[in-house]
Amino acid sequence: MARPDKAADVAELEDKFRSSSAVVLTEYRGLTVKQLKTLRRSLGENAQYAVVKNTLTKIAANNAGITSLDDQFTGPTGAAFITGDPVESAKGLRDFAKENPNLIIKGGVLDGKALSADDIKKLADLESREVLLSKLAGAFKGKQSQAASLFQALPSKFVRTAEALRVKLAEQGGAE
- Residues in CB range of 124: below 8 A, 6 or more apart: 87, 90, 91, 93, 94, 95
CA–CA distance, 25 with 135 (Å, rounded to integer): 31
CA–CA distance, 7 with 71 (Å, rounded to integer): 22
Q: Are 64 and 58 in contact (CB under 8 A)?
A: no
Helix axes 86-99, 117-125, angle to 10 degrees: 110
Phi and psi at residue 17, in whole multiples of 5°?
Answer: -65, -45
pLDDT per residue over 87-139, tens digit each? 888 888 888 989 988 889 998 998 888 888 888 888 887 776 677 778 778 77
Q: What is the pTM of this model?
A: 0.68
